[in-house]
Amino acid sequence: MDGNFGQDQNQYQQDNNGQGMNQYQQNANWQNNGSYQQAPNQNPNGYYNGYPNGGYPNQQMQGNNYNNYAANGYNGPVVVSNAIPQKNGGLAVGSLVCGIISILGFWSLITFILAIVGVVLGIVNNAQDNPNKGMAIAGVILNIIGFLLTIIFIAIITAL
């Protein structure tokens, strides 16, 4: 896919057996890095949604991938798309994991830093309006608890 973009769209339009370009343009875009922008009327998860008779999700293909197939007598665009959404709440997962590790390993000074990282991840996740907001909040709370446990542990060690 890399390096194949920027080809003439007219070729696609001409070889598409009468399927209108507008239909493709309305529903989805292919970006130059190969990522895929979800169209509002498509399956939000992007996975198989049972196109009968081999129909396609209405998509606009940029580049010569389709043209290669057209030259070989192939009558449709090949659409390669990531079925996993880009915004999947990974930051919230990271925040929660940092929180759990910082609580379990409060006796280690490294968790001091881990707790701060976890709080930042959780806040950034919710600020960016990513999914798993509840998980991010739980992560922030666990990180704060882990942070406090580490401080208490350090205080006890220095007092002894």
Q: Which residues bind other proteins (CB under 8 A)?
A: 1-2, 4, 34, 45-48, 50-51, 53-54, 56-57, 65, 68-69, 74-85, 88-90, 92-94, 96-97, 100-101, 104-105, 108, 110, 131-132, 135
Q: Which is nearer to other proteins, 49 or 159 (CB)?
A: 49
Least distance in Å: CB of 1 to other proteins?
Answer: 4
Q: Which is nearer to other proteins, 49 or 158 (CB)?
A: 49
Least distance in Å: CB of 156 to other proteins?
Answer: 19
Q: Which is nearer to other proteins, 8 or 47 (CB)?
A: 47
Contacts of 145 (CB under 8 A, 6+ apart): 99, 103
Q: State the burial class of residue 72 (Cβ atoms within 10 Å of its Cβ: 0-12, 13-18, 19+).
A: exposed
At 123, list the tokens.
Answer: 């806040």
Q: Which is nearer to other proteins, 54 or 159 (CB)?
A: 54
Count the neighbouring beta carbons within 10 Å of the beta carbon of residue 103: 18
Q: Which contiguous run of DSSP H or E holds residue 36?
A: strand 36-37
Least distance in Å: CB of 141 to other proteins?
Answer: 15
Question: What secondary structure does DSSP assign to 26-43, as a single string?
Answer: HH-EE-TTS-EEPPTTS-
Which amino acid appears at position 132 of this protein?
N
